Amino acid sequence: MTGCKIPHFGLARQHKNLREELLVATDNALRTGVWVNGPNTSDFTEWLAKRTQSWYALTTHSGTQALEILAHFETTRFHGGYKPRINIPNLSYPATLNAFINADWDIVLKDTDNNGILIYEENYNEEDYHCIVGLYGAAPQSKFKDAMDYNKSSVYVDGAQHWLVAEGNIGEGMAISFDPTKNLPSSGNGGAIVTNNKDLYEFAVSYVDNGKSSMHNFSGTNSKLSEVDCAHLLVRTLYIDEWQKRRKQIRLYWLEQFEDLPIRCLSRDFEQHSDQKFVIYTQKRDELLGYLMLNGIEARVHYQKALSELPVARPYPSPDMMSMSVMLSRGVLSLPIYPELTDSEVQYISEKLKQFFDK
């Protein structure tokens, strides 16, 4: 929002700091005449596999397409009308649900705990698959460890918000997003798949190239990152650890400052958190949102509706309106958290929250 003194995202500030490096990287990439599947793509996927402790990595046009490809891999393996069934947390971005709808899965929307993480139930059907989402950057493997230890092949990971702290816990495969709102942003759209499954990797390599390397035994699409995209991402990888330290510093400061306020910080219960968002829960969410905006702080709501409330989800079993996931959607509020926030801005946001509740 242009009128805000403190915008919700710091992309303009980041570009100002990296402008010269990004311009050089752009020129170097374009001068080669190889604009897709070149050395920058190779270098970046090598870095990504190492960072996520995975054997294979490949880039896609978006995080959404990465998750769709993971979903299509499973349904392509089945024949005779059988549909795999997957449990999806009821609080997530709609892309999580859409990926499995588009791949024709049977879907069950499951309730979450009070941090928005899918609840593991010991009586799950052993044939079920699970989609784990690290909501807001939380490391969900600690909450869903039993399922991942029991059978990693039954778990697909939507790592769009938490992949930087996944530490090899990628299930059968993990989808990653480099959307500009994420911790490691592309200069446009961008995503990736990481996996330890060679068959999945080879399927994905063919799928992003319209099924070409599989001799078109299955359909696919055209889903790639350009050499410029990967060159820009490589520039940003040089700073990602520094940025993550700054995000953590802001989170820890706010956790201390907000301890006595009548709010709940959804990152408090996790030793590992990528701090993709700093989310609080309050029954006065809408009032606080308006107050912060009036004071030049752009806060946002992620997400205003649980997946079960979307028209596209009507055919699927889901939690009721009194469930934890629906309750969370009525009170969550995301504060700006990015490395380029100054100490004075971080303190100002804290002071304004305290002033609101003092009233």
Q: 77-107: per-residue pLDDT in tens?
A: 765 567 899 999 999 999 999 999 999 999 9
List the structure tokens of 245.
């330290």
270 and 171 belong to one structural domain: no
220 inside domain:
yes
pLDDT tens profile 41-80: 999 999 999 999 999 999 999 999 999 999 999 888 765 5
289 and 171 belong to one structural domain: no
Q: According to the model, what pLDDT value does residue 140 have?
A: 85
> Could you list the residue range(s) of the whole structural domain that residue 303 is in?
240-358
Q: According to the model, what pLDDT value does residue 2 have?
A: 44
173 and 279 belong to one structural domain: no
149 and 59 belong to one structural domain: yes
2 inside domain:
no
283 and 327 belong to one structural domain: yes
Question: What is the spatial distance between Cα 195 and Cα 205, in angstroms, rounded to a whole number?
Answer: 12
58 inside domain:
yes
Across the chain, mean pLDDT equals 92
Q: Of 182, 215, 237, which residue is a domain's last?
A: 237
130 and 250 belong to one structural domain: no
Q: Of 212, 237, 262, which residue is a domain's last?
A: 237
- How confident is the model over 320-338, as a mean pLDDT? 97
Domains of the chain: total:
2
- How confident is the model over 278-295, as a mean pLDDT? 97
Say how many C-beta atoms besides its own lie within 10 A of residue 241's C-beta. Answer: 10
221 and 286 belong to one structural domain: no
pLDDT tens profile 124-175: 777 789 999 999 999 987 666 555 555 556 899 999 999 999 999 999 999 9
224 and 141 belong to one structural domain: yes
Residue 1 pLDDT level (bands cut at 50, 70, 90)? very low
154 inside domain:
yes
Residues 6+ apart with CB under 8 A from 298: 1, 4, 6, 7, 8, 292, 336
pLDDT at 310 over 70: yes
We report the CATH number of the domain holding residue 124 as: 3.40.640.10
